[in-house]
Amino acid sequence: MLDREVKAVALVKAATTGDPDQTKIDQARDAINAVGIKAFKDKYLPKLDEAIKNLPNDQQAAQAKKQATAGDSQLAVAQTAASSSQAASTSSQPATAASSSTANVSAPQGQTSSNSGSSNSAQPSTSKVLGVSFISQEAAGAPEGCEAASALEALHYKGHASGMSLASFLRTMPIASNGNPYQGFGGTPYAVVDGVYQSIFPSAFTPWVAGFGGASNISGSSLDGIISQIAAENPVVAWVTLNYQGPQWHHYDWGSGIDNAHVVTVDGYNGDSLHIVDPENGTYWISKGAFNAAYSYMKFAVAIS
């Protein structure tokens, strides 16, 4: 999670001042839902309700319909679809891990693979779940700490840093004084800092985590590459977008980043879905297509061994 609360508040302000604008209201609602925190929604969604009252009647009706389905986030839809796919695959011959229905979304220009040529000899079975244990970033008071929480989840599974809490682990995370996530974490994981991209990228993340156990930067890997790591008993820390929604790009001094980025641990797969251990939203299945779309914006991934 990166700077999204500040962005959402700004969009709410734009939607609730001046002449009523349905597009601005839609953008603000999407941003609020992307935050994914109930208290945040309870505070700001009512402000949009007031703005909706000033829209023309036909637009009010359209907004009412959107509100009725607002609880069906992309994440929830993906989980439901993935659960159905999993049930179907266990009642008949399961599909192969390299399903042809997987979404094929190209990576942005300039992204290159780091260590992506490495491979594992393990041949993926049709389904596998490692059983990585969930660690809550919110319980540690670190709303911006998804990278560290995901790393520690995977390290614990591999038997590394077993006696270390998330709070202790966070104290070891390298901080970039210039806010460049390629060099360390920008800002603080404990609060939103306006104008700072609060994340750490694989170039700095990998050597940090490698100090506690095996870590390989497999950025640029395809979905099959991630699955191969899991087949070899290596959970993969992956950079995606929050709730697998579209990216919200923003330019910073060091370059461009996705403000609604999020980091999760991938620890399982079946014919159509991946199993996720999400430090904010818990464990769930998501379709390979939905995951791949969100992953392909940056194609950042680190395998923990």
The reported pLDDT for the residue numbered 50 is 84
**Which residue, chain included where needed, has tokens 């709730």?**
243
Q: pLDDT-derived band of residue 3, with 50, 70 and 90 as boundaries?
A: low
Residue 82: inside a domain: no
| Overall size of the chain counted in residues | 305
Residue pair 147/262 in contact (Cβ under 8 Å)? The answer is no
Q: What is 46-99 written as a DSSP string?
A: HHHHHHHTTS-HHHHHHHHHHHHTTTS-HHHHHHHHHHHHHHHHHHSPPPPSS-
Q: Pick the last residue of a domain from 68, 84, 104.
A: 68
Q: What is the pLDDT of residues 165-189, one digit of tens each?
A: 999 999 999 999 999 999 999 999 9
Residue 87: inside a domain: no
Number of domains within the chain: 2
As a whole number of angstroms, the distance between CA 107 and CA 4 comes to: 23
Same domain, 129 and 197: yes
Question: Which one-letter amino acid corresponds to residue 123?
Answer: Q
The reported pLDDT for the residue numbered 66 is 59
Same domain, 27 and 139: no
* Average pLDDT of the residues of the chain: 81
CATH number of 105's domain: 3.90.70.10
Residue pair 285/96 in contact (Cβ under 8 Å)? The answer is no
Which range marks the domain in which residue 195 is found?
Answer: 93-304
As a whole number of angstroms, the distance between CA 223 and CA 258 comes to: 20
The reported pLDDT for the residue numbered 62 is 72
> Which of 17-21, 136-140, 155-159, 210-214 is least confident?
17-21
Q: Pick the last residue of a domain from 68, 101, 123.
A: 68
Residue 110: inside a domain: yes
Same domain, 172 and 276: yes
Same domain, 102 and 54: no
Same domain, 226 and 119: yes
Q: What is the pLDDT of residues 7-62, one digit of tens each?
A: 777 788 888 888 878 888 888 887 777 766 766 777 788 888 888 888 887 777 77
Is 70 exceeded by the pLDDT of residue 110?
Answer: no
**What average pLDDT does the segment 285-289 reach?**
97
Residue 79: inside a domain: no
Report the predicted TM-score, pTM, of the whole model to 2 decimal places.
0.63
Same domain, 153 and 45: no
**Which residue, chain included where needed, has tokens 């620890």?**
267
Residue pair 285/86 in contact (Cβ under 8 Å)? The answer is yes
Residues of the chain with pLDDT > 70, as a percent, come to 77
Residues of the chain with pLDDT > 90, as a percent, come to 58
Same domain, 55 and 200: no
Q: pLDDT-derived band of residue 142, with 50, 70 and 90 as boundaries?
A: very high
Residue 73: inside a domain: no
Is 60 exceeded by the pLDDT of residue 116?
Answer: no
Structure tokens belonging to residue 172: 């070891």
Residue 76: inside a domain: no
**What average pLDDT does the segment 144-170 reach?**
97
Other Cβ atoms within 10 Å of 61 Cβ, number: 11
Same domain, 153 and 59: no
**Which residue, chain included where needed, has tokens 């990998």?**
206
Indicate the burial class of 197 (C-beta count within 10 angstroms; 0-12, 13-18, 19 or more). buried
Break the chain down into helix, strand, coil percent, rounded to 5: 40, 15, 45
**Which residue, chain included where needed, has tokens 């260590």?**
115
Same domain, 100 and 242: yes
Q: What is the pLDDT of residues 48-94, one digit of tens each?
A: 888 888 888 777 777 676 565 444 333 443 443 444 344 433 333 33
As a whole number of angstroms, the distance between CA 230 and CA 216 comes to: 13
Q: What is the pLDDT of residues 226-282, one digit of tens each?
A: 999 999 999 999 999 999 999 999 999 999 999 999 999 999 999 999 999 999 999
As a whole number of angstroms, the distance between CA 97 and CA 26 comes to: 37
Structure tokens belonging to residue 122: 């393990």
In the chain, the N- to C-terminal Cα span, in Å, equals 25
Secondary element (H or E) of residue 273: strand 273-278
Cα dihedral angle (239, 243, 246, 251), rounded to 10 degrees? -50
The reported pLDDT for the residue numbered 111 is 32
Dihedral sign of CA atoms 152, 181, 239, 144 in order: positive
Same domain, 179 and 297: yes
**Which residue, chain included where needed, has tokens 């969930």?**
134
The reported pLDDT for the residue numbered 28 is 80
Same domain, 23 and 97: no
Other Cβ atoms within 10 Å of 87 Cβ, number: 9
